[in-house]
Homo-oligomer: A and B are copies of this chain.
Amino acid sequence: MKNKKILLAARPRGAVEESHFRLVEAEIPRADDGEFVVRNHFLSLDPYMRGRMDESKSYAASAVVGEVMVGTAVGEVIESNHPKFKAGDFVETRTGWQLYGKSNGGGARKIDPNYVPLSAYLGAVGMPGVTAWIGLNEHGKPKAGETVVVSAASGAVGGTAGQLAKLKGCRAVGVAGGRAKCDYVVNELGFDACVDYKAGNLDANLKAACPKGIDVYFDNVGGPVLNAVLGHMNAFSRIALCGQISGYDDPDALAVKNFRAFLVNRINLRGFICSDHLELWKPALTELGQLLHDGKIKYRESIAEGLENAPAAFIGLLKGKNFGKQLVKLI
């Protein structure tokens, strides 16, 4: 038995390609004192990883060329010399894109696959869910009856954000790419409406979907969708700026034309990432776990099979080809 790892082979200039990654084999690591070894079942693929591939200043340290690509995974402890984790425990760790990882417990959490499915700890009951919870509750602060628009609405973050808004009594309006995603957002996730940004008429369709204007915009994409949304924001509305996937390859695509709207409507915009608010993870995860366990929030997954397919799946994610939370099944 060997470990397999995907390394960051080179930093992209513009679009990510498979050549920026390299698959290698290695020995399965052994646990020293205070460490454990995990066999990963699912690897999470998330848009934030694009930022880690760059050397340019971002909110987290860059991934290192020649080392395992950064990422979070869930799996089972197979060997432990750590007092708090034992063989057979299920854990979420930041061991990156590999089949087997070693951890000293930092950033690791025990999880219970009998409470919600194992993979959900990478989605609605993990970082994406917490991101949705923080952005909506701490920054968006919607009141019942207000209109909340969420971009990338079929994704792990957006889908959760919109469902949380519905649970608060808001009108939830999604923006997603394509009819199938929009149908899912409305029919399965229970949003009130969903605008297909690929269908054209974004501005008119947003207006129709938000007859009382927009009070909260949870933005995962930036660019043209943000520009369109700005024209419909109400006075004293809020924008929780969570992601800018439309411009990760080309920051110029994120230019905002209608900046006057921020003053005219006294908009409050806040960029945030979930790790800014570590104190909120516990209450957020507790609530999200309960909601998922009780069937009050739903999610969907795109699952790539095998570590070797992670680069292609990640490239697809950046292009919006995934449908729901993108995972790689490793076992």
Identify the interface centre among A258, A264, A272: most chain B CB within 10 Å of its CB. Answer: A264
Provide the bound-state CA to CA distance between A259 and B258, in Å.
12
Contact of A271 among B242, B263, B270, B276 (CB under 8 A): B263
Judged by a CB distance under 8 angstroms, whether A247 is at the interface is: yes
Q: Which of A29-37, A190-198, A248-256, A291-299 contacts B (4 or more CB under 8 A)?
A: A248-256
B260 touches A244 (CB 8 A): yes
Judged by a CB distance under 8 angstroms, whether A116 is at the interface is: no
Residues of A within 8 Å of B, CB-based: how many?
Answer: 34
* Chain B residues in 8 Å Cβ range of A268: 268-271
* Chain B residues in 8 Å Cβ range of A2: none
Contact of A260 among B254, B260, B265, B273 (CB under 8 A): B254
B271 touches A266 (CB 8 A): yes
* Chain B residues in 8 Å Cβ range of A269: 262, 267-270
A135-157: which residues lie under 8 A (CB-CB) from chain B? none
A266 touches B273 (CB 8 A): yes
Provide the bound-state CA to CA distance between A74 and B106, in Å.
65
Task: Select from chain B the residue with minimum beta-carbon distance to A244.
Answer: B263
5 contacts between A and B (CB under 8 A): A241-B262, A247-B260, A255-B256, A263-B271, A266-B270
Judged by a CB distance under 8 angstroms, whether A282 is at the interface is: no
Provide the bound-state CA to CA distance between A262 and B262, in Å.
13
* Chain B residues in 8 Å Cβ range of A271: 262-268
Contact of A264 among B57, B252, B256, B258 (CB under 8 A): B57
B255 touches A251 (CB 8 A): no
Q: A59-B235, A269-B269 are in contact. Are A260 and B251 (CB under 8 A)?
A: yes
Q: What's the nearest-Cβ distance from chain B to residue A134, in Å?
A: 12
Judged by a CB distance under 8 angstroms, whether A129 is at the interface is: no
B252 touches A257 (CB 8 A): yes
A272 touches B264 (CB 8 A): no
A195-225: which residues lie under 8 A (CB-CB) from chain B? 222
Provide the bound-state CA to CA distance between A276 and B265, in Å.
11
Closest 8 interchain pairs by CB?
A: A263-B271, A262-B271, A254-B259, A266-B271, A268-B270, A251-B260, A269-B269, A256-B256
* Chain B residues in 8 Å Cβ range of A59: 235, 263-266
Judged by a CB distance under 8 angstroms, whether A114 is at the interface is: no
Q: A235-B59, A268-B268, A268-B269 are in contact. Are A251 and B258 (CB under 8 A)?
A: yes
* Chain B residues in 8 Å Cβ range of A264: 57-59, 271
Judged by a CB distance under 8 angstroms, whether A243 is at the interface is: yes
B276 touches A266 (CB 8 A): yes
Task: Select from chain B the residue with minimum beta-carbon distance to A257.
Answer: B255
